[in-house]
Structure 1
């Protein structure tokens, strides 16, 4: 199968065609094309709580299937199911429920955003469920998931956090720093222990100060850390988005949605982690205190926001696909239009809106 257009590769735009052979990319070939459509790698979203009216946060596998299908239609061909801070029983039940979906390839993995987070920087996380990291809990979840648990966010200042990070990394799980009131030094200690992702950098973190730089500067400056950025114009001003991407470069910046069930849905009342959320003008906030509660973002909209902020499309696609894939250990199979890699791609019109999506060589209905 040959698909013509402007093909976005990690090194530039190739006007020509993508050859698809079975489930893989066969070749990217320069040539004359009549259609100016964009062909971009399928998006890789490593931080997502739901969408299309469904959520991952309750551990319901049917809801997870529907949420994954919603985001697939928006070009996200590789997706993590992100939980929020929860009682251990729910964490265990969700792991059991989602592991078959990971095994089937519907989900790429499970992400626990909490409960080992800072009360001072909990944001929309439910403070009733926050606690210090437990090696016993983590061991149980990793054993139950059999490789399905791929990412855990931890506040490094909590008691036992560095031991938990070391344990996760030793099991091949990505440890992330987020929802933290840590100092600059505490954050670097987490990086030294093996943390390699910054969870929605700037958001849910002690703000930077020129005499107390805190986690933001530590994460942006750490060569081994990929920094998640929520590109919805709400979590981050476009100037902040562009600045952060210029500091990290596209190889250390990952666009994420942090989407919740309200993504793609009308304004109204929703739920997140046992808390009421109100969505107005596409912005999700906790009813109790107005804290930002995830987003209503999809990855195609995040790409448009990044390009609108001045980030070149080649870099924006790396941030939306190539870099997050590498951050979670899938960087040699998905996230780029290269020969031999899985044929995951999205066709976008000249306004960068999704026209068609392919996953593993098959068009998505």
Structure 2
């Protein structure tokens, strides 16, 4: 397969590039005028060629979610995001009672073992009830290392990251257990102050550490009370933590996204979708775990008894939508934004030699978009993705 268009290579771009695939690998990438292959080149196009995107925080989409669906339903969510350019993702589970967590961890483990998911992300249940956002407060419990071990056992070693509040009980024991299990801690859904958060970041020194959707699920940044947001932002500036951004135009103002990219080394930023069941769907009523959600004008909020505006309940965006908003609305350079949704998450997962960039010997996971970064085609493992997100052999 020979593709031609503007290509994102590394953190930069080549205006008229050629990407050649051979079976399931990228064989050659470079400027069209440097191409020396035997096959004729296609005509120049206005297409944009991106590496396959990798989402570290995704709850579902296309009408199904990971926290309650069976394997078939979870697979539909994976396929929906794949059609939209996310060629690898972690399936995120919200806080739930132990039987539900064990059941869903086992369900998603099968999708990891079949190669459809890259792993599982646990968003709770060791988080703050005061900052639970769109999670069930009755399912939130203090830090429990034994419960963590039981969930990891049910997941058959496929848990890759876990969101927990810095102030949760037994934080040190949990951190040690996560290190043994190869699970990345992610600080979030927290009411902790800056000092507590900074101390936990220091405890995790030398190991990968993430801040779950920076600014969301934590106290607002205040000049006399910087809180977890200020501590995480400062740590990202030092290179001690990676910060997630839900740059969908709803969770964060475009100017906030610009500020973070202007303040922090972009290598410390990961774009995520935090997508829920309604991603790619029409407005209406949905579920997020056990909670009722209403989507209006593309914004998901918890349903309230009195009809008032509820808390934002995850996102209806896909990762390519987030990249598009980051570039077009926040003015972030295309190569930098794409790297935050491909190369950097691949590095965090230990997959940097396999995925995340357009370069020879990488997996042939490629997203073709128009100039407005709307998806035109997706290639996974060298094969075009057809209906229902399934790669088919051309």
- TM-score of the superposed pair, with normalisation by structure 1: 0.97
The residue aligned with 2:331 is: 310
CA distance in 1, matches of 2:296, 2:201: 37
The residue aligned with 1:68 is: 78
CA root-mean-square deviation: 1.3
Instruction: Please state if 1:319 is matched with 2:340.
Output: yes
CA distance in 1, matches of 2:255, 2:173: 36
CA distance in 1, matches of 2:381, 2:316: 26
The residue aligned with 1:286 is: 302
CA contact (8 A) 1:43 1:320 kept: yes
User: In the TM superposition, what whole-angstrom CA distance separates every residue of 1:152-192 from its partner, at most 9, and x where no partner exists?
Assistant: 00001011123212320232111100100111121122222
Displacement of 1:144 in angstroms is: 2.9
Displacement of 1:44 in angstroms is: 0.5
The residue aligned with 1:31 is: 32
The residue aligned with 1:120 is: 130
| Higher alpha-carbon deviation: 83-92 or 208-217 | 208-217
Gap runs ≥5 in structure 1: none
CA distance in 2, matches of 1:355, 1:329: 29
CA distance in 1, matches of 2:224, 2:353: 40
Question: In the TM superposition, what are the counterparts of 1:318-337 in structure 2 within 5 Å?
Answer: 318-337=339-358
| Higher alpha-carbon deviation: 151-160 or 242-251 | 242-251
Give the number of aligned pairs.
365
Question: In the TM superposition, what are the counterparts of 1:43-62 in structure 2 within 5 Å?
Answer: 43-62=53-72
The residue aligned with 1:5 is: 5
Instruction: Please state if 1:220 is matched with 2:209.
Output: no
Displacement of 1:99 in angstroms is: 0.9
Displacement of 1:336 in angstroms is: 1.1
Instruction: Please state if 1:274 is matched with 2:290.
Output: yes
Question: In the TM superposition, what are the counterparts of 1:81-120 in structure 2 within 5 Å?
Answer: 81-120=91-130
Question: In the TM superposition, what are the counterparts of 1:226-305 in structure 2 within 5 Å?
Answer: 226-288=242-304, 290-305=310-325
Displacement of 1:59 in angstroms is: 4.5
CA distance in 2, matches of 1:78, 1:284: 24
What SS does structure 2 have at the residue aligned with 1:47?
A: strand
CA contact (8 A) 2:164 2:189 kept: yes
| Higher alpha-carbon deviation: 175-184 or 327-336 | 327-336
| Higher alpha-carbon deviation: 203-212 or 236-245 | 203-212
User: In the TM superposition, what whole-angstrom CA distance separates every residue of 1:269-296 from its partner, at most 9, and x where no partner exists?
Assistant: 1111211101000000001261000010
CA contact (8 A) 1:221 1:247 kept: no
The residue aligned with 1:201 is: 214
CA distance in 1, matches of 2:342, 2:310: 31
CA distance in 2, matches of 1:221, 1:169: 24
The residue aligned with 1:185 is: 195
What SS does structure 1 have at the residue aligned with 2:129?
A: coil
- TM-score of the superposed pair, with normalisation by structure 2: 0.90
Q: In terms of Rg, which structure is larger? A: 2
The residue aligned with 1:348 is: 369
CA distance in 2, matches of 1:261, 1:144: 23
User: In the TM superposition, what whole-angstrom CA distance separates every residue of 1:192-234 from its partner, at most 9, and x where no partner exists?
Assistant: 2326111110000111121221111221222121111011111
The residue aligned with 2:36 is: none
User: In the TM superposition, what whole-angstrom CA distance separates every residue of 1:226-261 from its partner, at most 9, and x where no partner exists?
Assistant: 111011111000000111122223211111111111
What SS does structure 1 have at the residue aligned with 2:228?
A: helix
CA distance in 1, matches of 2:11, 2:244: 21
CA distance in 1, matches of 2:145, 2:361: 39
CA distance in 2, matches of 1:107, 1:181: 31
CA distance in 2, matches of 1:123, 1:199: 13
CA contact (8 A) 2:106 2:156 kept: no
